[in-house]
Amino acid sequence: MSVPTFPHADPRIIADDGDALRFCSTCAFSEACLSRGMDKSALSDLHVLVDHAGPLHAGEHIFREGDRFEAIAAVRAGTVKTYVVDRDGNEHVLGFHLPGEVIGLNAIDGEQYPCNAVALDTVMLCKFSFPKISVLAARLPGLQKQLFRLLSRDIGRAALLAGDWTADQRLAAFLVALSRRLAERGFSPSRFQLTMARTDIANYLRLAPETVSRVLRRFQEDGVLKVERREVELLGREQLEALAAPVLRQ
């Protein structure tokens, strides 16, 4: 079998839970640690225990707004949606988090989680006690840099959609960004499943659900992509990249 299509993980990755000495292959931090010669036994010497959590099923919450902040979590498998609910009860989607990405970073400056995090499909997580990882980060500049990078990426992503973009640009940017993130984790960049519902995508992109479908249908008619149920295949990568470029600031 060739490159896995998200969310079907490569069986080699799924099977790879790491062990006392090795990191899981989806670990968001392994590179930072290993580059400083810190393997898992070195980490356990520092009492940085990593909790594997899950599987959580679609609709289960990982944390809710106002819960006491204890840990950041890296997604090992599946998709996590973060969102807040406004005073009128309307949901606002903040982001979607894929394998290798971290949730809970926006809680760092407070005592409580400032948003909700819910599993969209079957999700596996690694939880890191935040106080402990910050101690570790102080000793490992690489880890600190990695944390800052993840943090700024989180902020950057949220800012992307603030601009005055068309529906076409928003959707193209969404698909291109998703494709790149999946490619980084070894998934196929051209074929993947949208694990989030249409209303979630629409909410995240500040569009009406009908608009999401209308634009996708038009993209499909133009041969830019193909949609079959939840599965998307990107066919006209260049066109999508061109549309997405201003949004993704390239």
Rule CB under 8 A: which residues touch another protein? 1, 4-5, 8, 194, 196-201, 209-210, 212-213, 216-217, 220, 227, 229-230, 232
- Tell me how far apart the alpha carbons of residues 41 and 19 are, in angstroms, rounded to a whole number: 10
- Tell me how far apart the alpha carbons of residues 48 and 134 are, in angstroms, rounded to a whole number: 10
Taking the least distance from each CB to another protein, the nearer of 129 and 193 is 193
CA atoms within 13 A on the CB side of 91: 16
Helices 167-184 and 209-221 cross at an angle (nearest 10°) of 80
Taking the least distance from each CB to another protein, the nearer of 36 and 226 is 226
Compute the least distance from the CB of residue 228 to another protein, in Å: 8
Beta strands in 98-154 (DSSP E): 102-103, 116-119, 123-129
- Tell me how far apart the alpha carbons of residues 220 and 200 are, in angstroms, rounded to a whole number: 20
- Tell me how far apart the alpha carbons of residues 201 and 189 are, in angstroms, rounded to a whole number: 18
Compute the least distance from the CB of residue 62 to another protein, in Å: 20
Compute the least distance from the CB of residue 173 to another protein, in Å: 15
Taking the least distance from each CB to another protein, the nearer of 167 and 227 is 227
- Tell me how far apart the alpha carbons of residues 155 and 69 are, in angstroms, rounded to a whole number: 19
Taking the least distance from each CB to another protein, the nearer of 69 and 219 is 219
- Tell me how far apart the alpha carbons of residues 239 and 244 are, in angstroms, rounded to a whole number: 9
Taking the least distance from each CB to another protein, the nearer of 11 and 163 is 11
Taking the least distance from each CB to another protein, the nearer of 152 and 166 is 166
- Tell me how far apart the alpha carbons of residues 196 and 7 are, in angstroms, rounded to a whole number: 11
Compute the least distance from the CB of residue 27 to another protein, in Å: 25
